[in-house]
Amino acid sequence: MKPRAKSTILLNHRLLSGLLATLLAFAATSQVKAMYADGGPMETTQLFVNQALKIMADKQTPVADRQRQLRQVIEPRFDFTEMARQALGPHWRALKPNQRQDFAEVFKGFMESAYLSKIGEYSGQKVEFIKQSSLGDGYAQVASNILQPSKPSIPVNYLLEQKDGSWKVYDVTVDNISIIQNYQNQFNRVINEDGFDKLLADLKAKQRQLASSSAG
């Protein structure tokens, strides 16, 4: 009986350590999976776009509530400061720190009002994700199509950077036209002609206009 007991113990021991190893391995892989689900540029983009579509499709909830939900979904996924910096191009360097902060804030408000004003226009379009590709270390591009019934689909690409362990959008291209680059050209013209303060005022005015057009 004795050797057998010993072998049982041994077996148990082996079983246990085997089980432990499996558990550990499982935990590790599931952690990797979780990291992947939260971390890949494609998964990140897919996640927030699908959440946003769901909110836009939910016509029962009042617009104001849906706008708040949408903002909660979008905000953590966009790097608005980086967008603001790029949209100013060479002018950013000439600004004082407090001017930069002012501008980043106003620009963020403007961009938010712009996408929130889209909420009423949504009519069931679907989005298909095509691929992700690397744009160099820490940068990625996710390609998608907005599918419209009986019309050509619109290619939309998201440009993401890895920051503090998560992927954040810093530019979006629609039909291969970069939104940030487009604003950069506009802002450059306004600053050169009428100065930085005029640009701030124009952005604020446009933001109010967009916000009031989507509230009703």
Contacts of 100 (CB under 8 A, 6+ apart): 84, 85, 92
Cβ proximity to other proteins: between 60 and 123 the closer is 123
Cβ proximity to other proteins: between 48 and 170 the closer is 170
* From 82, 122, 125, 129, residue interacting with other proteins (rule: CB under 8 A): 82
Q: How many chain residues are in contact with other proteins, going by CB under 8 A?
A: 41
176 is a contact residue toward other proteins (CB under 8 A): yes
Cβ proximity to other proteins: between 46 and 86 the closer is 86
> What sign does the dihedral 60-61-62-64 (CA atoms) show?
negative
Contact 171, 89 (CB under 8 A): no
Site string for other proteins, 17-56 (x = CB under 8 A): ----------------------------------------
Cβ proximity to other proteins: between 29 and 212 the closer is 212
Contact 107, 83 (CB under 8 A): yes
* From 13, 71, 126, 206, residue interacting with other proteins (rule: CB under 8 A): 206
Cβ proximity to other proteins: between 7 and 133 the closer is 133
136 is a contact residue toward other proteins (CB under 8 A): yes
* Subset of 146-165 contacting other proteins (CB under 8 A): 157, 159, 161
122 is a contact residue toward other proteins (CB under 8 A): no
For the chain, the first-to-last Cα distance in angstroms comes to: 84
212 is a contact residue toward other proteins (CB under 8 A): no
For residues 46, 48, 50, 54, the Cα torsion angle rounded to the nearest 10 degrees is 180
Per CB under 8 A, residues contacting other proteins are: 79, 82, 85-86, 89-90, 92, 114, 117, 135-136, 138-139, 141, 157, 159, 161, 170-171, 173, 175-178, 180-190, 199, 202-203, 206, 210, 213
